[in-house]
Amino acid sequence: METYHFGVTASRHGISDRQAETFEELVTNTKSALLTQFQGQIEIWFHHGDCVGGDERAAKIVENLGGIKIHCHPPFVEKYRAWTTNWDLREEPLDYHTRNHVIVRWSRMIVAMPRTTRWTPHSGTWATMRWAQNHGKVVNTIWPSGRLTNSRGWEDRV
């Protein structure tokens, strides 16, 4: 059976309602396309970092959609950990930087939901977006307005 892995990077401050709506639509469409392409013979995995805010909300959306396995990659520092329980597989906690790189390595597609429309220093979301793009991953960015852009030229569309 084929497998497809995608991950999320989002702000601990949460995501906008428009980002949540676009994320749900993107996941629904991706799931539908994959099931059609592989005639139902595919296992789809969603990877998240178990942080409060965006990760937590995205995981809940995926759980509610159903039919997608959830792989949780919690942070070592518990201050912003969401302690989600809706997962099929949970890794041991790692530092933020390493954890984000692991999520990217697992994933064919990263869905990024930054809190701002401009690069922000010391932002794990922006650093993960850049690292994923630099490693050839598809990065679908959902801006606070709900607008979706893909990794080909996302920096030019800010």
Quick one: the chain helix, strand, coil %, rounded to 5? 35, 25, 40
What pLDDT shows up at residue 140?
96
Exposed, middle or buried: residue 134 (CB in 10 Å: 0-12, 13-18, 19+)? exposed
What pLDDT shows up at residue 124?
86
137: three-class secondary structure by DSSP:
coil
Fold category of 2-157 in CATH: Rossmann fold (3.40.50)
Give me the residue label for tokens 């991706």: 30
pLDDT values of the chain reduced to their tens digit, one per residue, 158 residues: 899 999 999 999 999 999 999 999 999 999 999 999 999 999 999 999 999 999 999 999 999 999 999 999 999 999 999 999 999 999 999 999 999 999 999 999 999 999 988 887 788 898 999 999 999 999 999 999 999 998 654 343 33
Q: What span, in angstroms and rounded, lies between the C-alpha atoms of 101 and 7?
A: 11
Q: Where are the domains of the chain?
A: 2-157
- DSSP secondary structure letters along 21-89: HHHHHHHHHHHHHHHHHTTT-EEEEEEE--BTTHHHHHHHHHHHH-S-EEEE--BSS-TTB------SE
CB count within 10 Å of CB 94 equals 18
